[in-house]
Structure 1
Amino acid sequence: MNVSPRTQLILLAITYWFYFGQLGVLVPYLGIFLDGRGFSSAEIGELFAVITLARIIGPSLWASIADKTGKSLAVLRLGCFLTVISFSSVFLFTGFWGLTLSFGLMMMFWTAVLPQLEVITMQSVAGTRIGYGQIRLWGSIGFIVLTVALGKALDHFTTDAPVYASIAVLTILFFSSLLLRQPAIKANATEHSGNLWQFVKQRPFIVFLVSASLLQISFGAYYGFFALYMRDLGYSGQQTGLLIALGVLAEIGIFLIAGKLISRVGVWGLLMACMVLTAVRWYALADFAHSGWVVMLTQLIHALSFGLTHATSVHFIHHFFPQSFHSRGQAIYISIAFGMGGALGNYLAGQMWDQGTNAFNTFGFSAITALGAALVLLLCSKKRMNV
């Protein structure tokens, strides 16, 4: 189906809306869902870790297919379809290993979606006056809307609400992917004389990857236990949803100006600032989360911890790798940072949390890890990373 460039950008915005809307439905509240099923904090952390491991193998597998065939959109659609099918099995299981299998398979296929969506978006905005951030911000809007809606729903319905909402959103996401078109690629764009390894082994990318992985390790406590932490401190489900939405709302403003910030400050400077402030954010949650104003401030920093960091990372990878390696470059980033780093962060947070009695130590560890992510950047010069 042929669509105009403007229609393509609108469809990409809608696809981002549902993709990140699904994350808003499931990620903040998966801990509450599992807690409602009687899982301990250690089991929740272990389950998060196991399913996150699927992000190590999945992205590279799908991206390799996309780069070699040049059919990023076909891979994206297949990933959306298989995600719906695999996630449906959640309704068949109640035990630890059954749910781990369901979420693990879902994550394996889910990893096919974002790297291809990022590549298609970067290709689609090329030559237009629209920047990546202006399309990506609609994902944040979707996240906000569905996070607040689910937070409210949890005040009135059972803790199974996130999985029922997820299957609906995933189904709509698949249908939205069918409306997209594959951007035209120049005939010689898929050719390159080198190989992927010669770029991966360079110092700027290694430093970037280690730093990004440490940052994701630091997110373990937040992704796994923030909603439970807020509940234990007396915040309602609706208040928690609004707090999560506040963080994502702040992302929207960042995405609107991300391109200008990258041009003026550079990749290295932005990543350094974001990681230092993320360390401050985690410490504030560790020691002052009883104050609603402090929690609101930490959520505003989410615009930097995730939003600006992600936009800067996508920019770095897109310009560091040749076009024939774009999908695999994005996939390596997701596999190592979000896969290995995220899995380790989830596991460690689950072991430390102890039903919330070690919340201070867990978020304190996150703060130290985020600070470590900033220090690693000192191993590479600004000039070599500012592509």
Structure 2
Amino acid sequence: MKVSSTTQLIALALTYWLYFGQLGVLVPYLGIFLDGRGFSSAEIGELFAVITLARIVGPALWAHIADKTGNSLQVLRLGCLLTVVCFASVFFMSGFWGLTLAFGLMMMFWTAVLPQLEVITMQSVAGTRASYGQIRLWGSIGFIVLTVALGKALDHFSTDVPVYASIVVLTCLLLASLLLRQPPLPDTHKPDGGNLWQWVRRRPFIIFLLSATLLQVSFGAYYGFFALYMLDLDYSGQQTGLLIALGVVAEIGIFLIAGRLIARVGVWHLLMLCMVLTALRWYALADYAHLGWVVVASQLIHALSFGLTHAASVHFIHHFFPQTFHSRGQAVYISVAFGLGGAVGNYLAGQFWQQGAQAYETFAFAAATAFAGALVLLGCSKSRLNV
């Protein structure tokens, strides 16, 4: 392997570490930060919903720009820069709408980073002995390290810790992006396979997308209130961080064998299994979260709830869409499932939560929604999803 290739792969691993490390800093603990600022659970859910809406518009917009310019790296760097600038405004905002605007703009530019990073990584590993999984693995490690570190820090410092740590990590991410280089562009003189809409409106994709969206709606309770829920049940900040990290460790394990599972079992069966077990996971948290072993078991299921469903979904999109629509097909999936589904899930979780008084109802609703996602899959034959 050439030194230049090695340097590029190290820079990519560092970028993944920081990108997902930032998710480990902010996503689990943003609710705690907002609670410390005096926001009600309804306001927290509404703020999460508004900023998540940026994930509807952002991915498609940035994918279009990257496709038009043919330079994913410049789009990635611009996204990193504007993310830092917008996030810095959090230190000057205190009210609901001010923080909503700051986090919303940050999320809008944040959505430019990962899709371009994935494209650059896939292009960079081609012709080397490295694989995508070996590079992506560092993102999960970064998430684990910073999630645990922030959980420990919350035991000793104020609830403003997540935003101070975030600005440091985001600045480092911007600097890491400057170490990357743009791989040679692939051949673009290939038939375009028609137009994107003719593929998006096909029944298998509609069924897949509706099921994926319902799954993300169910995640609203977890992303918005899991950390608060654990603290309400007298788990320490460090224990909460370790529990969140446990889910990511399980996710790493499933990523290592996901390809073989998809080839052997098929997308439809894996998605169905993951949906059903996710429903059981949320119900276990609704009724038995006071039992430590139940919470541990539920976090191990994260390997399926997120890891395996994501791997199977990416596999389906990659094989369902023609090559020229891979990035835009992924953008549709992220925008609708994670953007719209995430926003709806966050908003509803905030309405249900009632400062923790309706924790059972919140996670029970999440369980019902995940199960509905499994039922939707029955509307499509197995063979049409197992592409």
What range describes the TM-score normalised by the shorter chain of this pair?
Answer: over 0.9
Moved more, 76-85 or 198-207: 198-207
Cross-structure match for 1:160: 160
Cross-structure match for 1:349: 349
Cross-structure match for 2:337: 337
CA RMSD of aligned residues (A): 1.6
Change (3 A) 1:133 1:266: farther
Change (3 A) 1:170 1:125: same
Cross-structure match for 1:112: 112
Change (3 A) 1:78 1:366: same
Cross-structure match for 2:253: 253
| Partner Cα separation in structure 2 for residue 292 and residue 13 of structure 1 | 34
Name structure 1 gaps, 5 residues minimum: none
Conserved? CA contact 1:136–1:255, under 8 Å: no
| Partner Cα separation in structure 2 for residue 270 and residue 220 of structure 1 | 22
| Partner Cα separation in structure 2 for residue 321 and residue 179 of structure 1 | 32
CA shift, 1:269, in A, is 1.7
Moved more, 31-40 or 318-327: 318-327
Change (3 A) 1:179 1:285: same
Cross-structure match for 1:202: 202
CA shift, 1:131, in A, is 3.7
Conserved? CA contact 2:45–2:351, under 8 Å: yes
Alpha-carbon displacement from aligned partner over 1:73-127 (angstroms, at most 9, x marks no partner)? 2111111111001000000001100000000000000011112222222333345
Conserved? CA contact 2:193–2:322, under 8 Å: no
Letter in 2 for 1:109: F
CA shift, 1:381, in A, is 1.8
Change (3 A) 1:254 1:82: same
Cross-structure match for 1:298: 298
* Residue 139 (str. 1) matches residue 130 (str. 2): no
Moved more, 318-327 or 261-270: 318-327
Moved more, 15-24 or 324-333: 324-333
Change (3 A) 1:3 1:188: farther
Conserved? CA contact 1:79–1:113, under 8 Å: yes
Cross-structure match for 1:32: 32
| Partner Cα separation in structure 2 for residue 331 and residue 60 of structure 1 | 5
Cross-structure match for 1:79: 79
| Partner Cα separation in structure 2 for residue 201 and residue 261 of structure 1 | 28
| Partner Cα separation in structure 1 for residue 378 and residue 95 of structure 2 | 45
Cross-structure match for 2:241: 241
| Partner Cα separation in structure 2 for residue 308 and residue 84 of structure 1 | 31
Conserved? CA contact 1:116–1:327, under 8 Å: no
Pairs within 5 Å for 1:9-24: 9-24=9-24
| Partner Cα separation in structure 2 for residue 190 and residue 184 of structure 1 | 17
CA shift, 1:204, in A, is 1.8
Conserved? CA contact 1:46–1:350, under 8 Å: yes
Change (3 A) 1:289 1:102: same
* Residue 230 (str. 1) matches residue 230 (str. 2): yes
* Residue 46 (str. 1) matches residue 28 (str. 2): no
CA shift, 1:276, in A, is 1.0
Letter in 1 for 2:254: I
| Partner Cα separation in structure 2 for residue 139 and residue 189 of structure 1 | 33
Identity of aligned residues (%): 80
Please, what TM-score do these two structures have when normalized by structure 2? Answer: 0.96
Letter in 1 for 2:137: L
How many residue pairs match? The answer is 386
Change (3 A) 1:91 1:349: same
Name structure 2 gaps, 5 residues minimum: none
Cross-structure match for 2:183: 183
Cross-structure match for 1:96: 96
Alpha-carbon displacement from aligned partner over 1:207-261 (angstroms, at most 9, x marks no partner)? 1111110000000000000011001000010010010011111111111111221
Cross-structure match for 2:220: 220
CA shift, 1:378, in A, is 1.5
Letter in 1 for 2:364: G
Aligned structure 1 segments of 4 or more residues deviating by more than 6 angstroms: none
Change (3 A) 1:188 1:96: closer
Pairs within 5 Å for 1:58-77: 58-77=58-77
Query: SS at the partner of 1:75?
Result: helix
